[in-house]
Amino acid sequence: MTAKDNGGKAVGVTLTFGKAISDITNNADVLKACGALAKAMAVPYSRVTDAYGGFFGQPSAYLPTSVPTPAKTTTNTTNTTAAKTTRVLNATANATVAK
In this predicted structure, what is the pLDDT of residue 41?
84
In contact, 93 and 43? CB cutoff 8 Å: yes
Dist. CA 53–CA 65, nearest whole Å: 15
pLDDT band at 63 (very low <50, low <70, confident <90, very high): very high
Q: Which amino acid is at 59?
A: P
**CA-based R_g, the chain, Å:** 17
Residues 67, 33, 54, 13: is their CA dihedral positive or negative? negative
Q: Residues for the chain: how many in total?
A: 99
In contact, 17 and 81? CB cutoff 8 Å: no
- Give residue-wise pLDDT tens across range 9-59: 776 777 777 888 888 999 999 999 999 988 988 889 998 899 899 999 999
In this predicted structure, what is the pLDDT of residue 2?
61
Dist. CA 72–CA 70, nearest whole Å: 6
pLDDT at 86 over 90: no
